[in-house]
Amino acid sequence: MRRHATVASAAQRAGARPREGPRARRMWQRPAMVATGLTLATAAVAAAYAPLPPLPPLPPLSPPPQTLPLSPPPPALLPAPRGHAVGHAVGHAVGHAVGHAVGHAVGHAVAAEAPLRQRAARARGRGRTAPAAPADSFAVVGTARSGERLGHLLKRMDVTAPGLKLALARARHAEVWRALRAGDEVHAQVDHGGRLLRLSLDRQEAGAHAGVSWRILRTGSARYRFERVPSKSHVDIEARAGRLRRGSVFTALEAAGVPPTVAAQLPRAFGDTFDLRRLPAADARFHVVFETTAHRGRRTGAGRLLVAAVETHGRRRIAIRCDAPAAAAAVATGRDTARYCDANGRLLGRRFLAAPVKVGRVSSRFGWRLDPRRGTRRHHDGTDFAAPAGSPIHATATGRVTFVGTQNGYGRTVIVDHGGGIQTVYAHLRDTVSGLRAGARLDQGTVLGYVGRSGVATGNHVHYEVREHGRAVPPSRVAARGADVLDARRMAAFRRSSRPWLARAGLLAVADTPRKARS
């Protein structure tokens, strides 16, 4: 008895199970089967949970599964067939409960996450390069006024663009946005909050059939990309007619559908031969023919004024464009130097401008004077116009440059030959325009340099001198002369180009009438 107790104690310390009845002895002699079952169950549960993300705590199961004892089986075990059935039932119940709980929790997590994903997608659409979906964006169109800046135009359009002013000051391909012209149509795409997504402006440039699309794309909360994309534009000719009344000339032109950019060209077309602001009290009729450009079926702007006619008291005054076709590029850049003729091919306006600067005063006239530096009486061969430093200096008549450089006390000087033995001299310049060289052709009004005080000068001014056959003459002598008439070659080209314009306005009879009958 003592020996058996010692053996039993040693077996218990070693982890062995004490001996039991015959039926229990046969069951516990199969440890491999039990270990294999537990391993397979553990692997199945691990495989079910492995691909899933961390889940919230499982909700209470309904009905709750029956709690199974995990303690060792009692001494009296069931027979083998009945134990197998119970094990199968327990496994089925556990698998069903676990699957139901996992599916229920995953469904709740996905449903809760869906609104967050939708809000994140909308936020990405508002703050990234690509514009929002068409349902979330709107198109706004604004027309620039004379002298209006882009920021003020966007404010009138109720469009907000944080950081655009700073980006505009630093950007390349943005010169058109810094100098909007009256009548420019700006197309904006904004989101539902009025924030700018895209801005575009189409203009005609460099000829009659080429244009350019200027674009601003928002690439961040306060970041923008500026683009300049060449495009082909369709050019058409339109005609308008209506009545003018003194004091409301441009209002009447606008009411008749004449674009502001075309209306602004009318005063220059007639020059000093006819002043639109001094119309008689009676009504006057007008006819206007001009170019328009369209891009992708949408009108993008107006170009050159081709024909302008005004009838007052039975008298008709007409101005027809008679310069070279290449001058169309000057309209797009705002440096139009067009010339207009009457029906006989005579240039309208003066042959020579009275002054080479638009802002300034006469500080010294042509003739004898007291020299301001030497204090002696000397002859002054030109007329001095005092103006702020850097003011543009314009060619007073069409001609060809014969000299660009420095001449003794004249400082930086430009000399232009106008034919017929007449030359004009522009002296004391601060600088000349880039690329100006001898042999270049200048139209009347073209900028050739800037006011300065180079050479012998007491202040900022331009010395304007007129020479006839090498001798200095008063500038007023040539300024009072009549305008030129087109030569035979240019007259033929003028006739060919003007006929379709006059026909469009119903004025073709003017071109076909003999010259003596029109005088």
pLDDT in tens, 220-271: 888 899 988 876 667 788 999 988 766 677 788 888 888 888 888 888 788 7
Angle at 196 between CA 190 and CA 202, to 5 degrees: 90
User: Which amino acid, one-letter code, is at 284?
Assistant: A
User: Which amino acid, one-letter code, is at 112?
Assistant: A
According to CATH, the topology of domain 361-479 is Glucose Permease (Domain IIA) (2.70.70)
So what's the pLDDT on residue 401? Answer: 96
So what's the pLDDT on residue 360? Answer: 86
Q: How many helices (H) and strands (E) does the chain have?
A: 15, 22
Q: Which residue has the tokens 């104690």?
A: 9
Give the integer Cα–Cα distance in Å for 145 and 164: 20
Lowest average pLDDT, out of 87-91, 98-102, 113-117, goes to: 113-117
How does DSSP classify residue 467?
E
Identify which of 89-103, 225-239, 250-264, 398-412 has the greatest average pLDDT. 398-412
pLDDT of 362 > 90? The answer is yes
Residue 147: burial class (beta carbons within 10 Å; 0-12, 13-18, 19+):
exposed
Find all residues with CB under 8 Å of 123, minimum gap 6, and list them: none
List alpha helices for 157-191, DSSP H: 164-170, 175-178
The mean pLDDT of the chain is 74
So what's the pLDDT on residue 256? Answer: 87
Q: Residue 219: what are its φ and ψ, rounded to 5°?
A: -115, 0
Question: What is the tens place of the pLDDT at every residue in 116-171?
Answer: 444 444 434 333 333 444 457 788 999 888 888 899 999 999 999 988 988 888 88
Q: Are 322 and 486 in contact (CB under 8 A)?
A: yes
Give the integer Cα–Cα distance in Å for 174 and 10: 96
Give the integer Cα–Cα distance in Å for 153 and 199: 12
**Overall average pLDDT of the 354-376 stretch:** 88
Q: Are 321 and 304 in contact (CB under 8 A)?
A: yes
So what's the pLDDT on residue 4? Answer: 46
Query: 272 pLDDT band (50/70/90 cuts)?
Result: low
So what's the pLDDT on residue 294? Answer: 72
| Cα 411 → chain centroid | 42
Question: What is the tens place of the pLDDT at every residue in 459-485?
Answer: 999 999 999 999 999 988 887 665 667
Query: 295 pLDDT band (50/70/90 cuts)?
Result: low
So what's the pLDDT on residue 332? Answer: 39
Q: Residue 200: what are its φ and ψ, rounded to 5°?
A: -145, 150
Q: Are 310 and 217 in contact (CB under 8 A)?
A: no
Q: Are 17 and 29 in contact (CB under 8 A)?
A: no
Sequence spans of domains, the chain = 55-63+87-106, 134-232, 236-341, 361-479
Q: Are 332 and 204 in contact (CB under 8 A)?
A: yes
Find all residues with CB under 8 Å of 157, minimum gap 6, and list them: 140, 141, 142, 186, 188
361-479 has the same fold as 236-341: no
- 3-state percent helix, strand, coil for the chain, nearest multiple of 5: 35, 30, 35
The torsion angle over the Cα atoms of residues 214, 328, 239 and 348, rounded to 10 degrees, is 140
- CATH of the structural domain 236-341, one choice from 3.10.450.350, 3.30.470.20, 2.60.40.10, 1.20.120.1810: 3.10.450.350
The CATH code of the domain at 134-232 is 3.10.450.350
Using DSSP's 3-state secondary structure scheme, residue 224 falls into strand
Give the integer Cα–Cα distance in Å for 389 and 408: 21
Q: Are 398 and 349 in contact (CB under 8 A)?
A: no
Q: Kindly report the number of other CB atoms within 10 A of residue 107's CB atom.
A: 10
pLDDT of 504 > 50? The answer is yes
Point out which residues pair with 292 in neighbouring strands: 236, 302
Ramachandran quadrant class, 426 (left: phi over 0; alpha: psi -120 to 50; beta: rest): beta
User: Which amino acid, one-letter code, is at 380?
Assistant: H
Write out the DSSP string of 281-347. Answer: SS-EEEEEEEEEEEETTEEEEEEEEEEEEEEETTEEEEEEE-S-GGGHHHHHTT-----EE-TTSBB
Q: Are 330 and 354 in contact (CB under 8 A)?
A: no
Give the integer Cα–Cα distance in Å for 417 and 399: 5
Which of residues 316 and 61 earns the better pLDDT score?
316
The two structure tokens encoding residue 436:
């100006």
**Overall average pLDDT of the 480-508 stretch:** 81
**Overall average pLDDT of the 369-377 stretch:** 82
Q: Kindly report the number of other CB atoms within 10 A of residue 1's CB atom.
A: 5
Give the integer Cα–Cα distance in Å for 474 and 481: 13
